[in-house]
A = this chain, B = another copy of it.
Amino acid sequence: MPITGFYKLYFSKNKTYVKQLKNLLGFVPGNLSLYRNAFRHKSAATNVRKGVKNSNERLEFLGDAVLGSVVAEVLFKLYPYEDEGFLTELRSKIVNRANLNQLARKMGFEQLVEYDARMVGSTRQGSLLGDAFEALIGAVYLDKGYEFTKSFLINHIIKSHIDIHTLEQTETNFKSKLIEWCQRHGKDISFDLVENKEGESNKLFSIHAIIDGEVMGLGKEFSKKNAEKLAAEKACEVLGI
């Protein structure tokens, strides 16, 4: 450990916070204010200047991109014989909000995230953690650079917390997800076949996912089943499920 890290951990006025971060991250952070921002939800933010808040949203934007890039490389190298469709799907299973929320909870982010419960609905509280996780990646990147962030993600996060091969097997079933959601919320759902438009291949199926009479998603595919899946996926996206 470099001498500045040693000082930070044992003698600085922030030593408690530094220790807490070191336990979480496995390394001594450099620029503490980056990490404080990463764990601050907008509900707990204050204005800094020129209308900019010290919340984690900008860091989340950056961290999301860095995370996407690292995971892309990991999968590219781990699956040399799979095509880009497979890689894209597997990556989205890893970096989707639900998975990141769960990961952040497992890692104990709840103790560190700052937010104002009065301003955050209970359903939104879960995704606070995933947002903070992405923001943390942004902070690590700015503090330590790409190669460090990549090693941190691979050795400290992916290897310990993400079972890629299990995720590979589990199919995100948007259709049953949507149907369950409708049952829970007392809504009617149907999948209706739409007539093909002129000039469109006869083999193409267009399916609407209709919830309480309203079209919420359209899927076009060469099999009816896949068109339904796509329509359900779009509807899940629109509804934020």
Q: A residues touching B (Cβ–Cβ < 8 Å)?
A: 49-52, 57-58, 60-62, 64-66, 68-69, 71-73, 76, 80-81, 83-84, 87-88, 141, 145-147, 150, 194, 197, 206, 208, 212, 214-216, 218, 238
Contacts and interface: CB of A to CB of B under 8 A. Distances in A.
Contact of A208 (B50, B66, B141, B215): B215
Contacts of A141: 73
Contact of A83 (B58, B71, B208): B58
Contact of A146 (B84, B147, B212): B147
A57 B88 CA distance: 11
Number of copies: 2
Q: What secondary structure prevails in chain A residues at the interface with B?
A: helix
Contacts of A206: 214
A147 B76 CA distance: 19
A186 to B, nearest CB: 10
Nearest to A185: B199
Given A68-B65, A214-B194, A80 B60 contact: no
Contacts of A50: 81
A215 B143 CA distance: 47
B51 A76 contact: no
A121 to B, nearest CB: 14
A218 B239 CA distance: 11
A168 to B, nearest CB: 16
B68 A84 contact: no
Contacts of A60: 84
Given A146-B146, A208-B215, A238-B218, A57 B83 contact: yes
